[in-house]
Structure 1
Amino acid sequence: MAPDARRATLTRRVRSMGGRLVRRFGLLPAGTPDGLGQDDELVGRSWPYEVLVYFADTSEALYQIEQWYSTLEVLDAEHRVVVVTRDSRTAARVRAGSSLDVRTIAHYTTLDDVLARSSTKLALYVNHNPENFTCLRFGTLVHVSLMHGDSDKVVTVSNQTKAYDFSFVAGRAAVDRMARYATLYDAQARCIPVGRPQLDEQTAERERHRMLRTPDDLPTVLYAPTWEGGQRSAEYGSVASHGLAVVRALVESGRYRVLYRPHPLTGVRDASYGEADAAIRSYLDGLAPDRQAPGGWDGGGELATAFARADLLVCDVSGVAMDWLATGSPLVITRPAGPVAVARSPLTDLAPSLAAQDADGVVALVDRELGLDPTRAERLALREYYLGDTAPGAATAAFVEACERLFEVRDTELARIEAATQE
């Protein structure tokens, strides 16, 4: 071998070895899958799964799939489910947090090989990660977007939705939103309302917390803002524009306890959000640590638990607002500080809006909403429109039934294609 060829070969080997070491020791930049797959043990074999949940993200985005664990476990009891990741660290976290089977696949050719040998029928996705196209290419599956919440953010009418065969949505509101704002998209045919299975246990959780309340407890306001979004056009978050002023005003009124629950991605794109988040936490940490302390922050756990502790929600345009409707309690929605598009809806028209320049006036707004709740009847009427049937268990059952209907759709389509090729 010529010297130049030997040097080139050696360079490739060093780079390959270096890449493996970087992945093995977790030295990759945040958000980069480590690609440490189980490909060698999967190639040449079939698997028993009817449903594949494709999650290409790293652990920073686990909140998007975590909210689906319980629902997917119910589905798995009747139809085997596997979560496919591209990152071994994420796979370990999914295994630790759920009873679901997980496989890490680094190369799409491995998935191609396994699916060709298996009877997998349905692929589910909880976000619009561009890597989803690695799995979307397979025509033997029916592909369904679940997303990780319903909201009036423009992302819910993203053109990316067209990549999937169907979208499971919470209620009629999502169908109408897509029909109104999405171009060249048949929302009536491709959106399937299944409710919000994540809310099935919320009523019981709320009742447990109410039984622990005493007449002397201050009313609790939950401030649950969203993050700054992946780009300026999706910047609905209020942490930097409203956050500390809202929390301080409520606490210093002496009339309310404040529970602050920031979005887990707060500050990942815009440092000012991270700084504002730290300022709010620091302020709340400095308050008296007794039972009646007028504030605290929630670093994680089930959203239903935070909902159960609260009497009123202050939030941004986000999925949190929709889920809160199930509680029947009042809410206030912040107005984005920047020129961000909001898909106008019955809820954004109805709910009181709080602009950044009026953040100090939040106490009077909360006083009115908790004291009079002037829009209660209209808000309760919107609950089914946005969330479907909120009776415990109803949405989970609807989800499983919708998956089973799509199994039949898939089988019918494959039979049609096979017949066409034989003509």
Structure 2
Amino acid sequence: MSASPLPARLRTAAARLLLPTVIVLSFAGQAVGAFLPSVPLLVAATAVGLAADIALHRWQRKTVAKFGRLHATVTVRQVVRDLLLVIGLVRLEDKSHETRYLAFVCGLLVFYGLHFACRAVAILVRRTRTLPVLTRNIDASALRLSPALPALLTHRTGQRLLVFSLPSTAGLLATAVTGSAWWAVAGIALSAALAVVSVAMLLLRLLPGRRPVTSEQALEWFEEWLTEYRPTVGMYFSGGTSSAYQANMWLEPLAKLEGRPLIVLRERFMVKHITSTDIPIVCLPKVADLMRLEHSTLKMLIHPSNSGKTSQVLRIPTIKHAFVNHGESDKLSSCNPYAKAYDEVWVAGPAARERYALADVGIEDKDIVEIGRPQLDAITPYAGAPAGPYTTVLYAPTWEGWDGNPGNTSIIEAGENIVRTLLADPLVRLLYKPHPLTGSVVPQAGAANLRIQEMIRAANAARAAERTDGRPAPAAAAELARTTAELERLTTSSFRANADDTERMLLQTTPEPGRAEAVAAATAAWESAYWASFPAWEHQIVTGARPNVYACFNAADLLLSDVSSVISDYLASEKPYAVTNTSGLLEQDFREAFPTVRAGAVLTPDASGIPALLESVRDPAKDTYVEARAELKRHLLGPSDPPSVVRFNEAARALCTKADAHRAAMAVRTLSAIPTQPDVRSALDDRQLKS
């Protein structure tokens, strides 16, 4: 049974190899066509090879990089393509006409020279437009930012060469077919003209009046903005694109804090991966520029994750730091000794406090603050048995982790058994949401993930063939399209795919009034339209950013997962859940080792307990964990009164007070260390009062 998805994997691998294979074969075809010579073969091989190369740059950029590592760069490929084409033309003519093709070669050399000139000038333009600070939701008009040139001119060097080579290649092919040299002359001249125009457009951006401000001027502007905005609370984040969700889950709680919030990023690419928010965002890639925050009014930063660059911001003595994590679980990663570097560790409830004490990683109890999980306010509470004929089961396995522990994820040993058992129940609707990092460390996890998705698609196809009930009206699909377009307009329309850093600053200047409320309303409308857009019996594979895991919580009657923060968050609903034990421990030992398991069922890798579990969900009288879930919720997430949002704000206010006290103490120490001349001390006293 597990081997059935194999053809799909083979199709995927074949699709990845198709374009590279076509390119290699096209060169072989060109060589044969040039030396025979054969005009049809030469023309066909050249045209197919160039088209495949353009498609490769459009859809398989990783493969382009692999060609580069083999020293078969796009320039080398195009030069060989043109060389074979010229050789074919020479062999098609008698020797008395060979000299005229010297002009073609010279014209191509001029074109390639212009290509390299364009590439060099593009680098200069990118450097002048790469400012030391990147912003969103801030009026950056003072930086004299102009819209970016098309990415084909500034960034996509390989695509530019291939596109600009189209006229010259077409002209040479036309000459091969017709025998008229004027086609080649015209084509090469047009390619060279395109390169000249590109160089001219790029050179215009280097004129003094067309450049943005200098780096020093940009930093001066940034310091002036800090002085005017006077931020007090903020979030610091550094990571890759796949970890952006860790920051995004804290945007709404951060926006509700008292004071003036700020988001500090370190990677330029991350700016566009932060979802729609009204909070000002600054990206400071260099450590020296990051240190300018020391003299700002920023008092505290929350940290959703640890990264190599976190230690850099922790050096700023005027800012207090709180580690909030992006989720809490019983895994060792939730008690990382790195947390000692922060001033405080903010956790959801008593369970995390106990977890740190048992881990004995050097975190003092006085530095732990319980704030609950303010993100979970949108989760709907348990309402008993499933309302409709179908039981919606959310299977959300976590990823394999960095430590190689086989018990981290169930997807390798148990995932296919779990999904197969669920799909066999005619009254189950499955929502499958794997962790975004699944397969990033252990290839077997990624392969199992693909097999599971193929199983779900096959099950949907089988159900669709035998059922006609529950199909939504055509208006449902139209409503989903409408809400999707509206949500995209509000969240991503400010970014263009080919925009560079400075243009993104220009496009994301100040937020639209009420945009945060509009985004929240549009998101709710989209979620409602999404669930209504497919039949009630149709299984769903959820791998994108929407719907998020909390929306899946609200749609589910039962959660199946691993030892992860998903369990802790899901308990906010008090709905039934089960945890898969792939650790090799006996069930009793497994429950003792991982307290979050104690209010749910434990599944073995063969998934044999799922039928009984489904029966207890459909008949609440058989659910023996109701009280245990309520108690565990309080233990994991803390009390419901005061609300988590309130506790989060109180913790932030208290940490800001500590920051104020620390700054005052630093000022006193500074004053006591200077000479006692009245004029010097008076000037410093005035400066301290102003700050």
Q: Give the alignment's TM-score, normalised by structure 1.
A: 0.82
Residue aligned with 2:593, SS: coil
Residue aligned with 2:420, SS: helix
Separation in 1, partners of 2:304, 2:614: 34
Separation in 2, partners of 1:174, 1:370: 32
Separation in 2, partners of 1:338, 1:42: 57
Tell me what 2:677 maps to.
none
- CA 1:84 to 1:272, structure 2 compared with 1: closer, same or farther past 3 Å? same
Tell me what 1:200 maps to.
377
- CA 1:98 to 1:255, structure 2 compared with 1: closer, same or farther past 3 Å? same
**1:350, distance to aligned residue in structure 2 (A):** 4.0
Tell me what 2:260 maps to.
80
Matches within 5 A, 1:90-109: 90-94=270-274, 96-109=275-288
Higher helix share: 2
Contact 1:39 1:106 in 2 (8 A): no
Separation in 2, partners of 1:122, 1:275: 43
Contact 2:563 2:594 in 1 (8 A): no
Q: Deviations over 1:207-247 (max 9, x none)?
A: 8xx99x754x2111111111111331486111122112101
Tell me what 1:54 maps to.
236
**1:333, distance to aligned residue in structure 2 (A):** 0.7
Separation in 2, partners of 1:134, 1:228: 29
Tell me what 1:267 maps to.
439
- CA 1:166 to 1:343, structure 2 compared with 1: closer, same or farther past 3 Å? farther
Q: Determine which of 366, 377, 382 is the counterpart of 2:632.
A: 382
- CA 1:234 to 1:240, structure 2 compared with 1: closer, same or farther past 3 Å? closer
Tell me what 1:315 maps to.
561
Contact 1:155 1:234 in 2 (8 A): no
**1:294, distance to aligned residue in structure 2 (A):** 5.3
Q: Is 1:332 paired with 2:514?
A: no
Which amino acid is the alignment partner of residue 551 of structure 2? T
Tell me what 1:255 maps to.
427
Residue aligned with 1:79, SS: coil
Separation in 2, partners of 1:309, 1:384: 23
Contact 1:229 1:235 in 2 (8 A): no
Which amino acid is the alignment partner of residue 134 of structure 1? Q
Q: Is 1:353 paired with 2:602?
A: yes
- CA 1:53 to 1:234, structure 2 compared with 1: closer, same or farther past 3 Å? farther
Q: Is 1:365 paired with 2:613?
A: yes
Separation in 2, partners of 1:249, 1:361: 10
Tell me what 1:298 maps to.
542
Residue aligned with 2:413, SS: helix
Which amino acid is the alignment partner of residue 242 of structure 2? E
Separation in 2, partners of 1:93, 1:174: 29
Contact 1:194 1:402 in 2 (8 A): yes
**1:337, distance to aligned residue in structure 2 (A):** 4.2
Q: Is 1:278 paired with 2:450?
A: yes
Tell me what 2:660 maps to.
411
Query: How many residue pairs get matched?
Result: 385
Residue aligned with 1:72, SS: helix
Residue aligned with 1:389, SS: coil
Q: Determine which of 108, 113, 119 is the counterpart of 2:297.
A: 119
Tell me what 1:226 maps to.
398
Tell me what 1:149 maps to.
327
- CA 1:218 to 1:157, structure 2 compared with 1: closer, same or farther past 3 Å? same
Higher CA-based Rg: 2
**1:276, distance to aligned residue in structure 2 (A):** 1.1
Residue aligned with 1:241, SS: coil
Identity %: 27
Contact 2:268 2:285 in 1 (8 A): no
**1:281, distance to aligned residue in structure 2 (A):** 1.4
Contact 1:153 1:342 in 2 (8 A): no
Which segment drifts farther, 284-293 or 82-91? 284-293
Q: Is 1:129 paired with 2:307?
A: yes
- CA 1:214 to 1:26, structure 2 compared with 1: closer, same or farther past 3 Å? farther
Which segment drifts farther, 244-253 or 280-289? 280-289
Separation in 2, partners of 1:202, 1:337: 30
Runs of 4+ in 1 over 6 A off after TM superposition: none
Tell me what 2:651 maps to.
402
